[in-house]
Amino acid sequence: MMLNRGVRDSFDWPLFVIVAAIALIGVVNLYSATSAMPTQLRDIYIQQIYWLTFGAAAAVLIASVDYRYYERYAWVAYGAGIVLLVLVFLLGREVRGAQRWIPIGAFSLQPSELMKVFFIVALAKHLHDDPRAEGRTLKDLVIPGLILAGPLILILAQPDLGTALIIAAVFGTIMFLTHLKLRSFITLVLGFVVSAPLTWRYLLKDYQRERMVSFLDSDNDILGKGWHAYQAKIAIGSGGLTGKGFLQGTQNQHRFLPDQHSDFPFSVWAEEQGFLGAVLLVMLYTALILWGLKIATEAKDRFGAVVAVGVSGLIFWQAVINLGMVCGLLPVVGITLPLVSYGGSSVLTVMMGIGLLMNISLRRFHF
């Protein structure tokens, strides 16, 4: 069902403005972050604009079709995501010891990013069909747990700890906010805590364990594994209240900051725009997440509500974990900052999620 005049009149302008503001900050910041890089990397902000344009087109397309059609094909999308994750091991290329990307011409597709949206839609489909409205117990988590386990195991095998953590966190967020019994939720959390030693010993790679150790003892290996977080904290702290100014960040311009265009763009922004600029960006993310939850409360069915919660949780956890690792509060796990970090798959995934939020918002009065 395509948009009619009544739906177009219900366009969610606050959602559009917030997303546009974050994306604009991302492009401006990316220009600065790459300005001191070698010539072949200075124009990646233009590639980011292309990806944002492509992502916006995907969001418009997703928002134009009644989201109840996506409910019908939720398992098809989930199955396609699983197939893509399997193809990573057959066709993927290895970068920095991880096999996460499938080369498609000049572009590399990261299926684990797309799986975030497919997983949310599949879990929403299951919860929508579940007659139990509230008070879910651990027994009721068996099927949702199986839905989680498939992509989680394949993503951990790549290995991609960051994306696996995000999907697990989104799962926990959805289950907690859809009337999971508090006792069951606490038991679930304790289960993750108890399994942590096994995860440490058998699932984490050596370099991932080294990152954890470096985080716990950040002064032990500043010139090695701790270099990223150490330089990021210097950049953020040196920004002061109002920042050093656009293109004036010394940590960035003198190339002390590694991966400043992908995992650590916030350090560039905070150094140049200061505490006030950092607060502005955090407030925009907060507004986006709260608006997404508002859309969830106004959704006309459980499927729409769960999808809105899932997308909001996805943006929340990516922003929190990225900002936490950049500020030295969390280990470095390779999580992108939504719409600010460079990356085609990441931008496309977030914009698909925004399209779903717009879709649900548009139809809150037209059902």
Q: Taking 70 as the threshold, does the pLDDT of residue 292 lie above it?
A: yes
Dump pLDDT digits (tens) for 16-47: 999 999 999 999 999 998 887 776 667 888 99
pLDDT at 135: 66
| Mean confidence (pLDDT) of the chain | 85
Q: Which of 318, 297, 310 is nearest to 117 (CA)?
A: 310
- The mean-pLDDT minimum among 30-44, 67-81, 109-123, 138-152 falls in 30-44
Residue 125, domain member (yes or no): yes
**What is the number of domains present in the chain?**
1
The CA-atom distances, in angstroms, between 78 and each of 83, 98, 116, 117, 303 are 9, 23, 10, 9, 15
Dump pLDDT digits (tens) for 157-212: 888 888 999 999 999 899 888 777 777 778 777 877 777 777 766 666 666 666 66
Is residue 294 within 8 A of residue 272, CB to CB? The reply is: no
d(CA 163, CA 210): 18
Dump pLDDT digits (tens) for 313-355: 999 999 999 999 888 888 878 789 999 999 888 999 999 999 9
Residue 132, domain member (yes or no): yes
Residue 360 vs residue 247, higher pLDDT: 360
Sign, CA dihedral 149-151-156-162, equals negative
pLDDT at 289: 97
Mean pLDDT of the 112-123 span:
95
Residue 367, domain member (yes or no): no
Mean pLDDT of the 105-115 span:
84
Tokens linked to 49: 């604009």
Residue 277, domain member (yes or no): yes
d(CA 34, CA 315): 24
pLDDT at 86: 93
Residue 128, domain member (yes or no): yes
Is residue 117 within 8 A of residue 349, CB to CB? The reply is: yes
Q: Taking 70 as the threshold, does the pLDDT of residue 134 lie above it?
A: no
Percent of the chain surpassing pLDDT 90 = 48
pLDDT at 204: 66
pLDDT at 311: 97
DSSP at 102: E
pTM, two decimals, is 0.89
Mean pLDDT of the 99-108 span:
77
Mean pLDDT of the 83-108 span:
79
Residue 17, domain member (yes or no): yes
- The mean-pLDDT minimum among 49-63, 76-90, 137-151, 275-289 falls in 137-151
pLDDT at 291: 97
Pairing assessment for the beta strands 98-104 and 107-109 based on DSSP bridges: antiparallel
Sign, CA dihedral 166-171-174-177, equals negative
Q: How many CA atoms lie within 13 A of 199 on its CB side?
A: 15
Give residue 284's domain range: 5-362
pLDDT at 223: 58
